[in-house]
Structures are given as C-alpha cells and as structure tokens.
Amino acid sequence: MPLSQARKQELMTEYQIHETDTGSADFQVAVLTERISQLSQHLQKNKKDFASQRGLMQMIGRRKRLLGYIRKQDEERYRHLIRRLGIRG
C-alpha cells in the first residue's frame, strides 16, 4: 500500500528542512508514520495477513532507528518532531 503522490507531497512541504529537502530523517519519519498508520488499519481488517505484520514491524524498527539518530543530533528537533507527529505518549 504505497502512499499517494499527493499525500507524499503534502508531507514533504510540511516536514522538509529546506526547500530542496527530499530525504532528511524528519521527512523519512513522517512518511514511515503515515505508512505505519495505513498498514495498521489494514491489519485491523485482515488479522491473518502475517506478511504485512512483518512489514509493519520492519517499518516500526526503521522509524525507531531514525528517531534515535535525530535524538542524538538535536534533542529539541526530536521533541518537536514527535510532538507534531503525535507518536509518543
């Protein structure tokens, strides 16, 4: 279930650091969060889709590693990002 090009463009304008940014860690975390949300909804309907469950766990791990990288680089940027995405309790 890939993201639509329009939704990816919205995320890019919202989370990019500078105007030519297409691959910063912030943007990657935003895209992964969106995909995780979509896949979670899919798995609520399709409980036995174990291949998608594995993909979900991989995406969560990738997002966790990227967030750890951002946290090491700049703690304030990390806090602002997770607040904007609403991913931590």
Whether this prediction's pTM lies above 0.75 is answered by: yes
Q: What is the mean pLDDT of the chain?
A: 93
Residue 6's Cα: distance from chain center in Å?
16
Looking at CATH, the fold of the domain delimited by 22-85 is given as: Helix Hairpins (1.10.287)
Residue pLDDT, tens place only, 16-45: 888 888 899 999 999 999 999 999 999 999
Q: What pLDDT does 89 receive?
A: 43
